[in-house]
Structure 1
């Protein structure tokens, strides 16, 4: 069932992996878009861009008029801005959380536990604030995101490691199941659900269209790069040390030793409700974008 059309769309995190793919899709549908973020969009992806640092909660949104907001930045940055966006006319919200709120709740990493806590709290705050303000909300919780322009912190980082060292460190057998989801499929989900009343005031787990073991996911990356798969199985203590060293580089500051333990865990989620409500149909694990990475 179609809801009231949303013609003027604000997109936060416009240069993010999802946001950069979403803007051209919205324009193709003839929608007016305003990209909001700390860096300007490139290639004319949005009708206009405006600087906005979501961490600066004292900033305003003067002069902005919009029907809908698609928030692709960190979810915990959103609650403090909802009243301001409501005053701009926003009555529809799509925002991204993560299935990490479920899979990392038992993590030994204080960093990961902090992220989980912020995600759970933010989901509750967004739902409550939207109900108070009369905003129809939808929250998407993707599984392992990949794709876009090589900016993901999952598959692209594994590919960089393989290119640099020619092998991949593995803890255990790496048999835990994964459902990598392409950032493009997530951008499409935003467009599909934007004016669908069935999606109002709901949260959806969005997984990829193919389920494979962690070791097979990495093997596929090797093969796409034209490399012979080489795995070096190492004990947890050695993996922990390697992660601590890698974290010295800003690019890998998000890595934690618990990643090794999760190589053996099944992180699988159904997306049937999203398929039913708005036609979500993710593709298989497609690594064509890696060939364009340097």
Structure 2
């Protein structure tokens, strides 16, 4: 059986579906199991309980574990869990004091490595789902307002991340690896806004804000700390005029090309229209 934390998240829900469709036994963790809607045959359980009986491998979304894993890794060993697949980040490649996101993921990777369990750390870059933060603006007037319009990333569809994680859980060939994952094309924020518009049949444009105004906008939602806001803005600034590196790992691991941003936009068009 596979235990999936963050099972209703952007990656977790696709991973649950991928494993269930392939006929695997899945225990999906969520804060409210009674309200969860998982595919038929999937066992829903409470995140707070973290039941590990009968589990052979665990998918860990580090966002679920604020400040550390607690006794999770010890309990994994006690229950005979063999493998941990953690959703890491390509930001680990530049971890340090100025990159708290990368450093957090790197610290958690090291914690799992030290446990003695088998491990795989998929390291995706920018999620295509980051563009969901624009949905309200697009619905309102078709204008996305943010920093660094010409910053380039290679946004990856979360279904591709899930497909790689499924392979990491079910096969042995990725054990001990840290595959860096990306989408198939380098796009500016302006490009991404335009592609969403093309999919929903509206004119959507990106209006660049000053760094100060963009920072205030990020902090205004209450979900981003000043340190994280500054780190993200620094990263975006460094990506201006620099094409994002495209990784071949999604195709190598899954046997099919990575999905494009336009495909992601089509899959989520109802959220922007």
Does TM, scored on the shorter chain, surpass 0.5? Answer: yes
Report the RMSD for the aligned CA atoms in angstroms: 2.9
**1:25 CA displacement:** 1.7
Residue matched to 2:268: 290
**Following the alignment from structure 2 to structure 1, what is the Cα–Cα distance between the partners of residues 119 and 43?**
24
More displaced 10-residue stretch of structure 1: 113-122 or 282-291: 113-122
- Give yes or no for the alignment of 1:190 onto 2:165: yes
Residue matched to 1:140: 122
Q: Which ranges in structure 1 are unaligned for 5 or more consecutive residues?
A: 1-7, 54-58, 108-112, 147-151
Mapped contact 2:88–2:109 kept (Cα < 8 A): yes
**Following the alignment from structure 2 to structure 1, what is the Cα–Cα distance between the partners of residues 165 and 154?**
19
Structure with the largest fraction of helix: 2
Q: 2:91 aligns with which of 77, 100, 108?
A: 100
**Following the alignment from structure 1 to structure 2, what is the Cα–Cα distance between the partners of residues 258 and 267?**
19
Change (3 A) 1:104 1:27: same
Residue matched to 1:256: 229
Residues 1-294 of structure 1: pairs in structure 2 closer than 5 A: 8-40=1-33, 41-44=36-39, 47-53=42-48, 61=51, 64-74=53-63, 77-78=68-69, 80-102=71-93, 105=96, 107=98, 113-129=99-115, 132=116, 135-146=117-128, 152=129, 154-172=130-148, 174-244=149-219, 246-248=220-222, 250=223, 256=229, 259-264=232-237, 265=239, 266=242, 268-272=244-248, 275-276=251-252, 279=255, 281-285=257-261, 286=263, 287-293=265-271
**Following the alignment from structure 1 to structure 2, what is the Cα–Cα distance between the partners of residues 98 and 13?**
16
**TM-score normalised per structure 1:** 0.76
**Following the alignment from structure 1 to structure 2, what is the Cα–Cα distance between the partners of residues 51 and 176?**
39
**Following the alignment from structure 1 to structure 2, what is the Cα–Cα distance between the partners of residues 201 and 67?**
17
**Following the alignment from structure 2 to structure 1, what is the Cα–Cα distance between the partners of residues 59 and 257?**
20
**Following the alignment from structure 2 to structure 1, what is the Cα–Cα distance between the partners of residues 119 and 95?**
25
**Following the alignment from structure 2 to structure 1, what is the Cα–Cα distance between the partners of residues 17 and 140?**
33
Change (3 A) 1:275 1:101: same
**Following the alignment from structure 2 to structure 1, what is the Cα–Cα distance between the partners of residues 252 and 205?**
41
Change (3 A) 1:274 1:43: closer
Aligned length: 262
**Following the alignment from structure 1 to structure 2, what is the Cα–Cα distance between the partners of residues 213 and 14?**
30
Change (3 A) 1:227 1:256: farther
**TM-score normalised per structure 2:** 0.81
**1:231 CA displacement:** 3.5
Change (3 A) 1:122 1:259: closer
**1:45 CA displacement:** 5.1
Q: Which ranges in structure 2 are unaligned for 5 or more consecutive residues?
A: none
**Following the alignment from structure 2 to structure 1, what is the Cα–Cα distance between the partners of residues 209 and 28?**
44
Secondary structure at the counterpart of residue 93 of structure 1: strand
**Following the alignment from structure 2 to structure 1, what is the Cα–Cα distance between the partners of residues 191 and 155?**
12
Secondary structure at the counterpart of residue 169 of structure 1: strand
